[in-house]
Amino acid sequence: MRYIDALFTSTSAVCVTGLITVNTADYSRFGQAVVMCLIQMGGLGLITFATLYLAMPRRRISIVSRGLITDYTLSEIEYQPKNIIKTIIGLTFTIEGIGMLILNFRFGSQGKPFFVSAFHAVSAFCNAGFSTFSDNLESYARDPIINFTIMSLIVLGGIGFIVMRDIGKIIGREKTQLTYHSSVVLKTTAALIILGAAIIFALEYDGALRGLTIGQKVMASLFASITPRTAGFDTIAPAKFGRGSVLVTILLMFIGASPASTGGGIKTTTFFILVMTAFRYRDGADSVDYHGRSISGHTIFKAVGVVVKGLLIVFAATILILVAEKSRNNALPSIDVIYEVVSAFATVGLSLGITPNLGDVSKLTLIAAMFIGRVGLFAMALPKTGRKIEGYAHLPGADLMIG
């Protein structure tokens, strides 16, 4: 195995992406175990380790550092950082453990070792998309147990720990209603899954879904709508989808999962803010109102900034790969490269099959895209902590036409 491929796999695992240049099924059991450990560590997320570092005994937490944490994960983490860490780790292992047992009911009956169930449970909950099968999960396209277990793990890992903790409080009757953040995340997630599945079902009814029963087509459409939310598993090979479904998948991949989750992308809340701004903004207002709450201009600006930066990164990486591959006499369709770059940037792992044949420059570009998508967007979302100079004068207003 070449070092560039080992580096690619390691980055993909830690960034819980799932893109591969060497089939994971070809790895030794030790190699697969290393990949699973990297997925688990990456899946727990930057926020877990950042909070753990700042909450270590005998270490002072500055006002600035505490402000960084609260701005990213909502105010409740300010008061109980250690409890948040325990909740995150406890939820992770509990959900993954349940997933392992359910998956083992099917995999075990087929004579497969428990490791296979453990690997797929960790990979699904951490939204990684790695599989120990050479065809991913395409052999299980008609299996409801495998499909719905994997889909449930992906969704739970993608909605974020804050939301899961909020739901837990509702179930435990510690509170009577969800927070505004949790409500937005759940509504946006549900809308994207249902709308995405409906579009894929309509577009691929006589295409990639041909040969399946109505129920199986619905199940496969749901899976194809959920997995782009940064998971990367597939029961129907992405290369079999038509261009319409490919475009829908690219959009779903770019949006990704929710804040403080195991997934990537620009996040569901960012997409929600942009949609609300587009349809509910009133001329002259400095905020957007939705369901009795006001989304501030500062939040809108931050959302726009994340999306624009993300688009620029995707554009730059796409151009670089197209140029690099053309120089190798390996001309690729632009849509395939865009799909690959968005998959890397949003830490998804879906591919139209071009990854193994890419040159070293293109592989390094995807490595950078995966790292930026996992770490860079987190950094972009954090507030700037530099000293602010109080302004006593304002620059003249700029008159620009829009639309």
Report pLDDT digits (tens) over 293-336.
Answer: 888 888 888 889 889 999 999 999 999 999 999 999 988 999 99
Rounded CA gap, 137 and 20, in Å? Answer: 15
Q: Which range, 81-90, 155-164, 190-199, is most confident?
A: 190-199
* Exposed e or buried b per residue across 20-45, where buried means at least 16 C-beta atoms within 10 angstroms of its C-beta: bbbebeebeeeebeebbebbbebbbb
Where residue 101 falls among pLDDT bands split at 50, 70, 90?
very high
Joined tokens for residue 185? 């995340």
Is the confidence at residue 86, as pLDDT, over 60? yes
What pLDDT is attached to residue 374?
A: 82
Rounded CA gap, 132 and 25, in Å? Answer: 5
Give the other-Cβ count within 10 Å of 322's Cβ. 19
Is the confidence at residue 245, as pLDDT, over 50? yes
Side chain identity at 137, as an amino acid letter?
A: L
Enter the pTM of the model. 0.87
What pLDDT is attached to residue 78?
A: 46
What pLDDT is attached to residue 219?
A: 96
Joined tokens for residue 220? 């496969």
What pLDDT is attached to residue 285?
A: 74
Give the residue-averaged pLDDT of 355-363.
93
Where residue 175 falls among pLDDT bands split at 50, 70, 90?
confident
Where residue 77 falls among pLDDT bands split at 50, 70, 90?
very low
Contact call for residues 258 and 159 (beta carbons, < 8 A):
yes
Rounded CA gap, 2 and 22, in Å? Answer: 10
What pLDDT is attached to residue 344?
A: 94
**In 285-393, alpha helices (H):** 297-327, 334-345, 360-371, 377-381
What pLDDT is attached to residue 69?
A: 47
Strands (E), 181-299: 287-290, 293-296
Contact call for residues 358 and 342 (beta carbons, < 8 A):
no
What pLDDT is attached to residue 76?
A: 46
What pLDDT is attached to residue 49?
A: 64
Joined tokens for residue 147? 């499909």
